[in-house]
Structure 1
């Protein structure tokens, strides 16, 4: 099983990293470390995160220690990360 990111997810990550880097030098790396742990959890339990209402096939895994959700769907044998959004953002951004 592999993990792929959409262009929007990659842009979300760049935005979050820039935000955290502006706060503290190592905070963006800590954010990425937590994202790696979240992805490892998805690889171990691909259907472990709850589905997102109104978005068939989409699930949201919450990142620990950071207020972000990883929105993804299973795509064959892959996990496709659609967005990485702050929990205060409207999930309609998935459209």
Structure 2
């Protein structure tokens, strides 16, 4: 058996052994946040933003009118430019 295959089998065994461990050590970030929050717990946050912080949404009809008006203006400008172009 080549040495490379042997290393892969050992690595696979080590991963299975590590995944099967009952106790897993938290990540460095999790330990840092736990220490920070122990001294200064965070304020509870709502799942969704407060209505005061959410911008007022436009009606879909207003958005449609803006898009169609922009297209009409572009068509008119292009038509005028073609009409004014010398032949």
Scaled by the length of structure 2, the TM-score of the pair is 0.27
Q: Tell which structure's C-alpha radius of gyration is larger.
A: 2
Does 1 or 2 have the higher relative contact order (CA < 8 Å, sep 6+)?
1
More helix, by proportion: 2
